[in-house]
Structures are given as C-alpha cells and as structure tokens.
Amino acid sequence: MTPPCPTFSAALQEAGKGKSFLQSFAVATGRGGKFFYKFFTSRYIKFPNLAPQTQNLCYNGIGYGAGRAKFSAAAASGRFCAGEKGRRIGILTSGGGGPGLNAVIRGFCKYCFNKMKDVEILGFLEGYAGLIDRQYRQLSPADVEGILDLGGTILGTSRQPYKLMTVKEGEGPTRLQQMVENYKKLRLDCLVTLGGAGTHKTASLLSVEGCNVIGLPKTIDNDIYGTDVTFGFHTAVGIAADALKRIRTTADSHRRVFFVEVMGNKVGWLTLYAGMAAGADAILLPEIPFDEDNLIKFIAEKQASGARSVVIAVAEGAMSRREADMGKKERRDYLVQFGSATVAERLAGTISQKSGLSCRSTVLGHIQRGGDPCAYDKVISTDIGAFGAHLADIGRFGVTVCIKGNRLGFNVLTDIAGRTKRVPADGQQVLLAKDMGVYFGE
C-alpha cells in the first residue's frame, strides 16, 4: 500500500523522480492524462493514493484552467489544501475606483480572521502594480475596522492594461510572468482580485498560469458577464440620478435642453437606471444608436407640448447611427474633428447649430465613482467579500463571485473573461420605458 503523503506536491515528488509532471500525476493518482485534464477543468475528485488531508480538495482545488497550461503554482508550493493551517492570501483592488471596495475588503478579511486558522492576508498596493513590484502590507483585524462606510480603497488602485500583460518590455519578463513569479515567491495560497472587466481578464490569465485566483465583481458600469449586479453600481446610479434631478430644476428655470453625460464605458446600464430613476425625457445608450434629426424632432415635440425643459441622459459610449456603421479606425478618424469634446458636448453643439434650440451639456465624470457606498452596496459588498473568503476557505479557485436571482454563486473566470453584459435593446426595461414615452433616440 502506498504510504500517505502530506501534500499533493509531496506525492508528486515521491512518484515523479525523473518523470514529467503528467507522468508523476498518473503515478500519484493511478490515473492517466485524460483524467488529468478532466480533473483540472471540470469536477471534484478524491485521490485514493493520497492522505485524507490531501484528498480534501474541493472542486478544482488547484484552480480552473491550471491543467490547460502549467503545473499549479499552489501545488508547487505545497500549500493549497482546504482547511489547512497557516494559509497566506493576497488581495488587491484594480482598475477604476468605485463605492464598496473597502466594504468588500472588510467582509473578506472578517471572514478570514474569524473562520480560518493562522491566516495571513497580504494587501497588494495600487492594484496589480503591487503584485508586479511586490509592494504589499499585511492586513490585521484593526485595519478593516471602521471602513464599511469609507469610499475609495485602503489599498489604492491603478490601471494595468490587459493588452500589455503579456508584452515583453526589453529583455525582462512580461508583467504576467512577474506576477506569477511573485505569487510563487510569496508562497500565496490564493489571490483575490477586486475589479471590473479588465481586472477579470488579467485574473483569468493568472488562473491559466496556475495561480489560485478568485475574482470579486466591482464596476459602476455593471457590465461583467454572468452576474445580475456588481458592487458600486447602485451607489453610482443614485449619484447620477440625483445630478439629473438637480439639472432638471435649472433647465426648467431657463427653458433649456440639457444633455447630461453619464459614465458606463461601452454599455448603458448606469445611464438607463439613472435616467429612469430621475425621470429623464430621453435616454441615449451605446446599444441603441441615435438619429440626430429624429432627436431634434422629439425635442421640438416636447417643447410644443408645453414642457419647460428637456433632460436627456447620455451614456459616454453612445453613438449616432452613422458612427455605429463605421469601423473602429474610421470612427476614430471621424471623431478627430471634434477634438476632446465628449458625446454630450458634441450633441449639445450640433443640435443647437441645426435647430437653434438652447442646449447645454454637463459631464458628471468621476463624481459617480466617489463617496460612501449606499446601504444596498454596503450589504452586497459585505456579502460578496465574505462569500469570496468562503470560496478561498473551501479551495474553490479560478472563479469569480456573482449574484443571480438574489443568491450568491460563482462563474468560471475563463468563461466570463472578455465577455460583456450589454443592455438588450428589446429587453423588458427598455420596452416598458418606451411605452411610458421615454425616447431612446431611434
């Protein structure tokens, strides 16, 4: 009978003297290469030849996608078994700031300190840059007290473009290689990443490289595929809706048309929700290209009906039908003529020139990212953080937390990375809004 091995990596070392990883795996488990792929990509498996503590691997305990690329960094360090003492977990906040980041960090850390034995939590500073440069601080229970209501992030954040992660700069390693190397050197059992679409794409790369990664969905754009809502979104909706309502009073006073630009990147969720919450007359979304001439007709009809003002919520990624028919390069060349003007500024100028209407524009900008999270975001941020810690506790990696039908769950990182959740142009919310007379620019 094979003597028990204390960890999976130890089993491989015993079984694999002079053999490849795949051969070692087959010897250690008594199974072949096809099973190896199946284990890493699909299901919960126990190993008959390994010790009970080593068998305590949860669904893809070494990480989704790890078998598709390289031997897991966690297995290489011998530190990954669910329930094992002395675990070391890294956490970072990446990409654009947003409400709820600190609440998530707090929820995650509180679970870890309360439920895990001898856990270390390393907070990487300034997002992925901290992992690249090995800049971090060890978090203690005192560090996460009193931050539930605090806007921003105690760890700092930065943007590290996904496209540059695998690009070599000079003779040195790529940023991705640096992160994987530091993950191993720091003997991390897990890395938790709080961020949006770009953060999740990089997290997926790290997962494929063998790191144990858990994503937590942060973005005011609400565009992460596979989740009903992201933390920070509802706070931003409230801020934008409040601004739209304030614009209405000044627009009424001066009988003006206002184009109010709302964030959201290339999707219209934030603009749709804020526009509906504020009673906007028209809502222009990236998913529904607008017609400028029809927009002028709509404004004229509103004014003819006695309306003192027309308030139009404009997504920053909204575009005309003409632009929508262009390729990316053609669209870039077309927009050069407008200089740095935003879509709301361009519309206000163009509509005024064509119609003689008194139009103004306001760009809400980063006010939507700042401040304390609303009560709803504080609740879901805490829940998401704690659930992410639960996944780390049971060894379920290569996933990102999601909310579906008011229940917490998870999606596989490689399944959602690079995909975008867009507003369906024929969705129920848009159709009901149209039935109430809200104009969408067609």
Contacts of 142 (CB under 8 A, 6+ apart): none
Q: Please answer whether residues 174 and 163 qualify as being in contact, where contact means their C-beta atoms are separated by less than 8 angstroms.
A: no
Helix ranges, 336-427 (H) = 343-355, 375-394, 413-416
Q: Please answer whether residues 371 and 235 qualify as being in contact, where contact means their C-beta atoms are separated by less than 8 angstroms.
A: yes
Pick from 420, 413, 419: nearest CA to 207: 413
DSSP 229-270: --BTHHHHHHHHHHHHHHHHHHHHHHT-EEEEEE--TT--HH
Catalytic residue among 189, 221, 223, 393: 221
What number of residues does the chain have? 442
Q: Which two tokens stand for residue 43?
A: 């299901």
Q: Which two tokens stand for residue 179?
A: 């992160």
Q: Which two tokens stand for residue 311?
A: 């308030």
User: For 59-210, where are the E strands, in sequence order?
Assistant: 88-93, 120-124, 136-139, 190-195
Q: Please answer whether residues 107 and 386 qualify as being in contact, where contact means their C-beta atoms are separated by less than 8 angstroms.
A: yes
Q: Please answer whether residues 77 and 10 qualify as being in contact, where contact means their C-beta atoms are separated by less than 8 angstroms.
A: no
Beta bridge partners of 257: 310, 359
What's the alpha-carbon Rg for the chain, to the nearest Å? 25
DSSP annotation of 374 = P
Q: Please answer whether residues 239 and 368 qualify as being in contact, where contact means their C-beta atoms are separated by less than 8 angstroms.
A: yes
Q: Which two tokens stand for residue 355?
A: 């119609």
Contacts of 151 (CB under 8 A, 6+ apart): 99, 102, 370, 371, 372, 373
Active site annotation includes 118? no
Q: Which residues are catalytic?
A: 221
